[in-house]
Amino acid sequence: MRLDLEVSRRFGLSRRAAREAVRSGRVDVGGETASLPGAEIAEDARVEFVPDRPSRRAVRTRLSVLHENADVIIVDKPAGLLTVPTEERERDTLWSRVLQYLQLRHGGRPYAGIVHRLDKDTSGAVVFARNRRALHALQELFRRHDIDREYVALAAGSPPESGTLDADLVRTRELRRSIARPGQEGRRAVTRFQVLERLRGAALVSVRPETGRTHQIRIHLAEAGHPILGDRVYGPRERDPSDSAPRQMLHARRLGFVLPESERVSAEAPLPDDFRGELESRRRGAADGKANAPTRARGTRPKENAPARAGASVSRSGKKDARRGR
């Protein structure tokens, strides 16, 4: 369970006060002073709250740290922020914020090795290596796809309950990516998905990429006929008036891995406000639709909103396949 939740429960503090108690160095776990409110602890962990202990200097940065140890730091990237600078050499990026945080917290010359990236308008968990040994180990894990990664997305329409999208990707003249057509040689991309919840005009989908191609999830869902809400690049050319999403509703929720000679590392990034707002709006719309739906005669089938192409997948040639999971 989360440390701040356990501190709040055991010592009668509000959630905010519990987080501040951890950040200020007034909470010990197993005899060691804790620092991360969101750290996962065992249910039987020995937790102590020392309210009279002098507060240590807090590290104030625009960064949400999900997990940190001597080898890695996992942070929650907000939508609208670049992971790393482009050729324009932007100063404010997720990488620069991580470096600033590490410098303020540990001093010296910090190291934050870049392992992977999220699109600018995608939110969620990103890991950086704190030393070169960890960097090489993480790069190898990502190369072998030996990483536990889960995204959640709001996909338009009514996708099948689950499936596998298997379609090679190519880069177009416009420097975008697209599905490889017959005769084109692309890079293999495989995405597994499962519907978590049906909503008004969309579905909350859990997505697990088996490969790590640029824009893979966005392209695959769009090609399957269920583009991510708010995706202005791979969504429909004519924007659906009902799509009020402020940005592409894609969030990297979970990230887990095991480094050599180390325990398993796992982190979860909570849904950001804009994602939760769109999700709740669609939930209310779905509930209203059910309340107002006419009663069907027994044995009849609905003509509208029926899942299209149940179990459909996209094959590597780019053609749609009616077999579940290909």
pLDDT per position as a tens digit, 9-28: 999 999 888 888 887 888 99
**Tokens 């600033």 found at:** 100
pLDDT at 34: 84
- In the prediction, which pLDDT does 196 show? 98
Strand-strand pairing, 27-29 and 202-209: unpaired
Of 119, 168, 243, 274, the catalytic one is: 119
Cβ atoms 38, 3 nearer than 8 A: yes
Distance from chain centroid for Cα 103: 26
In Å, the largest CA–CA distance within the chain is 73
Give residue-wise pLDDT tens across range 112-148.
999 999 999 999 999 999 999 999 999 999 999 999 9
Task: Point out the least confidently predicted range of 79-88, 166-175, 190-199, 250-259.
Answer: 166-175
Question: What pLDDT was estimated at residue 168?
Answer: 93
- What pLDDT, in 10s, does the model give residues 271-294? 999 999 999 999 987 777 665 555
Interaxial angle between packed helices 3-11 and 15-23, expressed in degrees from 0 to 180 and rounded to the nearest 10 = 110
| Lowest mean pLDDT segment, chosen from 35-44, 164-173, 195-204 | 35-44
Please report the pLDDT score of residue 326 as a whole number.
Answer: 36
Q: Which pLDDT band holds residue 106 (cuts at 50, 70, 90)?
A: confident
Local confidence band at 158 (pLDDT 50, 70, 90 cut-offs): very high
Q: Which residues are registered as beta bridge partners of 164?
A: 192
CA distance 249 to 197: 15
Active site residue 288: no
Distance CA 24, CA 20 (A): 6
Residue 249: its pLDDT value, please? 97
Number of Cβ atoms within 10 Å of the Cβ of 80: 12
Helix (H, G, I), strand (E, B) or coil at 263: coil
**Start-end of H helices in the chain:** 3-11, 15-23, 94-106, 132-143, 216-223, 273-292
